[in-house]
Structure 1
Amino acid sequence: MPLYEHVMIARQDLSNTQAEGLIEHFGTVLADNDGKLVDSEYWGVKTMAYKINKNRKGHYAFLRSDAPATAVHEMERLMRLHDDVMRVLTIKVDEHAELPSVQMQKRDERERGPRPDRGDRR
């Protein structure tokens, strides 16, 4: 089955348990349609770059799924209809990374490559 990654932004006035309940709810939607939720991460409340529906902050969640396209379409349809979900982004990937996402890693744990040559700077 194809592999997908989803990022969901929920309203800021939800509690943490309600936001995590949304993750479980949409995981069951995938399971009901012959898919499965491989992994999920709750990133917490973050400030957005611009207002969405008069909200400056939102609960961010990251989902990894292994599901047929019909299950993903159904989940996205229900997310769009849900009042608490403001935005959803779904990407089809070749494989899931095993490490926690970049958002969950601490700043010193992130791998940084070498800096490019800066030339003759003083």
Structure 2
Amino acid sequence: MKARIIHWCIHVLDKEASIAFYERALGFHVAHEMGPDDGSWSNTYLVNDQSPFEIELTWNRGRTEPYANGGRDTHIAFAVDDMEAARKLHEDMGCIVFDNPRMGIYFIADPDGSWIEIIPGDFSFGE
């Protein structure tokens, strides 16, 4: 069997704020959206030019309780080609929630509190 990751699904309270965050913070854009005609929920798929991976934003009308999408221990990581530019952008956005200078990585949080690890493009474990 061969398997590959195709998307990461997170639940969001404010779909537009989440789309804007992922566009600005990681360069993703809306590829497609699906949901019922009554608009009670939607799945919005975001992509970027760096990989075939998608972020799926699931939104449910009327939801007011925050979702438990995970935190520091449950996260996804993105490798960036320019760590300095990424850090400056994320500092300006005020979304850095944890910094690990010893490892050369840091974490940002989206509007719903989901943690995203930012690592240098040439990062390698154990070397």
Q: Is the TM value for this pair above 0.5?
A: no
> Which structure is richer in relative contact order (CA contacts within 8 A, separation 6 or more)?
1
Q: TM-score, normalised by structure 1?
A: 0.34
Q: Look at both structures and tell me which one has the larger radius of gyration over its CA atoms.
A: 1
Q: TM-score, normalised by structure 2?
A: 0.33
